[in-house]
């Protein structure tokens, strides 16, 4: 990236990050090097593309037509410097500058706001009566560095192609995508499963070659006279194993009632993700080997049959009130063996920190008695009290003394006495 490199900058006012990502993918039609300039701009290195398109005017016209294809509005400019192209585009100047010697003259009339410097720095310049880049360039360099910092001086040198400006290349997240058109329409789910066998095998090979996995697959079934049927199959953990990919889609197809015969299908993977370190076996094993695999497949089958929202994980939240100390999450962390759970440190007493497996959605009255003694006959307060007093700042404060109550036959409950009313409540059941 020398001063002779030609750059094209595109600014998309108010464009969302996801749409900017799509624009970056579009820009890779014209050059191999694209850089995202947050929050709303792209930089394209186009020096090598000139040989293919012939002239800078023709190349820039093709790039601008690409933005119209996507339905987005962009301000584009070309210059032999990253910041010069970016500043021109921000100012709405549709410039095409090929020689560094012309940069100072073309940048002179641009407002200083196109630099996107912070408000304090711009206010300092305006207080000096500096409103345009040309006025800034006429100031002594030592004074600029002293008042605005060396970073501003470096930006000016980059804009005038006197200093290099390396950029991070945009690398799109890969996906597997394949479409199959059938000679004869398919009207049975079992036949669809057979038709999916080859694309799924190629998907697994695609993932294996990249040492990557996915956590979801999308299947689109196209009909002749009906809207497409779209299926999404989520996986409990990142995997690239063919058997698990096949199994999760087979479970979805098992419950599918076709609205019309299928003439084509398209298989699309979620973005590729790095596999966990323990997914690669010593003797060529690929995928989740061991006890965790069975648990993952069970979760995937349940989700395929019951729906993805019906099977979920639980994540803890830093909150003392038990009913607010957790939330549902779609991602499940599956343990391989029970032995992998961390053991308590010797000599520690964590009895008062126990929580039941079954926590009721809301505490229910255990008895109307206001007494520190167990409110029901045959129950003994085995552990406690554990005092929880929290939430005063949001108007839903609690003040409770929690106990583990045990009956003679071994049943154990998690109960508490509300400190203000002295009433007892049941909040959980131990397994």
Cβ neighbours of residue 7 closer than 8 Å, sequence gap 6 or more: 43, 44, 45, 46, 78, 79, 80, 81, 82, 84, 85
pLDDT tens, position by position, 341-354: 444 444 434 444 57
**Residue range 55-65: average pLDDT?**
92
Cα distance between residue 250 and residue 15, in whole Å: 39
**Higher pLDDT, residue 258 or 88:** 88
Cβ neighbours of residue 305 closer than 8 Å, sequence gap 6 or more: 251, 254, 255
Say if residue 152 is in the same domain as residue 186.
no
pLDDT band at residue 79, thresholds of 50, 70 and 90? very high
**Residue range 37-54: average pLDDT?**
91
Say if residue 43 is in the same domain as residue 109.
yes
Lowest mean pLDDT among 11-15, 55-59, 140-144, 333-337: 333-337
pLDDT of residue 287 exceeding 50: no
**Higher pLDDT, residue 292 or 288:** 292
297: domain CATH number is 3.30.1490.100
pLDDT of residue 228 exceeding 80: yes
pLDDT tens, position by position, 351-399: 445 778 788 888 988 875 555 566 677 788 888 888 998 888 888 889 9
pLDDT of 349 reads: 47
Number of separate domains in the chain: 3
> For residue 411, is it within any domain?
yes
Look over the chain and give the mean of its residue pLDDT values, rounded to a whole number: 83
> For residue 226, is it within any domain?
yes
Say if residue 262 is in the same domain as residue 290.
yes
> For residue 343, is it within any domain?
no
Alpha helices in 14-140 (DSSP H): 17-27, 50-53, 56-70, 82-90, 103-107, 119-127, 133-137
pLDDT of 227 reads: 92
Say if residue 138 is in the same domain as residue 189.
no
pLDDT of 330 reads: 65
Task: Tell me the residue range of the domain where 299 lies.
Answer: 177-306
pLDDT of 338 reads: 42
pLDDT of 361 reads: 80
> For residue 316, is it within any domain?
no
Domain end point (choices 131, 159, 187): 159
Report helix, strand or coil for 19. Answer: helix
pLDDT of residue 285 exceeding 50: no
Q: How far is CA 272 from CA 99, 197, 236, 266, 397, in A?
A: 41, 20, 15, 17, 45
> For residue 320, is it within any domain?
no
Report helix, strand or coil for 38. Answer: coil
Domain end point (choices 159, 188, 219): 159
pLDDT of 132 reads: 95
> For residue 144, is it within any domain?
yes
Percent of the chain with pLDDT over 70: 84
pLDDT tens, position by position, 83-135: 999 999 999 998 899 899 999 999 999 999 999 999 999 999 999 899 999 99
Say if residue 263 is in the same domain as residue 407.
no
pLDDT of 351 reads: 46
* pTM, full prediction: 0.50
Domain end point (choices 159, 192, 222): 159
> For residue 257, is it within any domain?
yes
pLDDT of 262 reads: 93
126: domain CATH number is 3.30.70.270
Say if residue 25 is in the same domain as residue 137.
yes
Respond yes or no on whether the N-terminal peptide bond of residue 281 is cis (omega within 30° of 0): no
Q: Taking the CB of residue 54, how many other CB atoms lie within 10 A of it?
A: 9
pLDDT of 293 reads: 56
pLDDT of residue 426 exceeding 60: yes
Instruction: Give buried/exposed letters for 317-326 (b at 16+ CB in 10 A, else e).
Output: eeeebbeeee
Say if residue 276 is in the same domain as residue 358.
no
Percent of the chain with pLDDT over 90: 42
Say if residue 209 is in the same domain as residue 299.
yes
pLDDT band at residue 159, thresholds of 50, 70 and 90? very high
> For residue 377, is it within any domain?
yes
Helix and strand numbers, DSSP H then E, in the chain: 12, 16
pLDDT of 315 reads: 77
**Residue range 275-284: average pLDDT?**
55
pLDDT of 170 reads: 87
Say if residue 50 is in the same domain as residue 126.
yes
pLDDT of residue 335 exceeding 70: no
Say if residue 111 is in the same domain as residue 22.
yes
Say if residue 12 is in the same domain as residue 146.
yes
**Higher pLDDT, residue 379 or 74:** 74
pLDDT of residue 8 exceeding 60: yes
pLDDT of residue 49 exceeding 60: yes
Lowest mean pLDDT among 77-86, 284-293, 382-391: 284-293
Closest to 279 (Cα-Cα) out of 253, 317, 244:
244
Say if residue 254 is in the same domain as residue 380.
no
**Residue range 274-290: average pLDDT?**
53
């Amino acid at each position: 990236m020398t001063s002779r490199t030609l750059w094209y900058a595109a600014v998309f006012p108010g464009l969302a990050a996801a749409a900017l990502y799509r624009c970056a993918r579009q820009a890779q039609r014209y050059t191999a090097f694209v850089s995202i300039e947050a929050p709303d701009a792209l930089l394209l290195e186009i020096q090598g593309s000139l040989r293919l398109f012939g002239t800078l005017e023709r190349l820039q016209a093709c790039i601008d037509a690409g933005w119209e294809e996507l339905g987005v509005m962009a301000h584009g400019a070309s210059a032999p410097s990253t910041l010069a192209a970016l500043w021109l585009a921000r100012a709405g100047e549709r410039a095409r500058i090929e020689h560094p010697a012309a940069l100072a003259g073309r940048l002179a009339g641009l407002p200083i706001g196109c630099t996107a410097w912070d408000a304090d720095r711009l206010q300092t310049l305006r207080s000096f009566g500096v409103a345009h880049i040309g006025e800034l360039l006429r100031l002594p360099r030592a004074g600029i560095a002293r008042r605005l910092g060396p970073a501003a001086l470096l930006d000016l040198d980059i804009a005038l192609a006197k200093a290099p400006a390396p950029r991070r290349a945009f690398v799109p997240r890969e996906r597997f995508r394949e479409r199959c058109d059938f000679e004869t329409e398919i009207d049975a789910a079992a036949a669809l499963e057979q038709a999916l066998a080859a694309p799924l095998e190629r998907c697994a090979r695609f993932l294996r070659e990249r040492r990557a996995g996915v956590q979801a697959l999308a299947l689109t079934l196209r009909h002749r006279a009906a809207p497409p049927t779209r299926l999404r199959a989520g996986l409990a953990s990142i995997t690239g194993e063919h058997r698990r990919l096949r199994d999760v889609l087979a479970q979805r197809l098992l419950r599918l009632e076709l609205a019309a015969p299928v003439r084509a299908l398209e298989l699309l993977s979620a973005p590729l993700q790095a596999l966990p370190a323990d997914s690669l076996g010593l003797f060529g094993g690929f995928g989740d080997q061991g006890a965790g695999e069975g648990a993952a497949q069970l979760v995937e089958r349940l989700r395929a049959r019951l729906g993805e929202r019906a099977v979920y994980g639980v994540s803890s939240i830093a909150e003392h009130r038990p009913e607010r100390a957790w939330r549902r999450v779609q991602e499940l962390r599956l343990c391989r063996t029970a032995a992998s759970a961390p053991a308590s440190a010797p000599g520690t007493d964590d009895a008062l920190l126990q929580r039941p497996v079954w926590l009721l959605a809301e505490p229910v009255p255990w008895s109307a008695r206001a007494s520190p003694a167990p409110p029901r006959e045959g129950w003994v307060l085995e552990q406690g009290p554990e005092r929880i007093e929290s939430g005063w700042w949001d108007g839903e404060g609690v003040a409770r003394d929690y106990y583990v109550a045990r009956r003679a036959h071994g049943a154990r409950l998690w109960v508490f006495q509300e400190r203000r009313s002295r009433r007892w409540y049941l909040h959980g059941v131990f397994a």
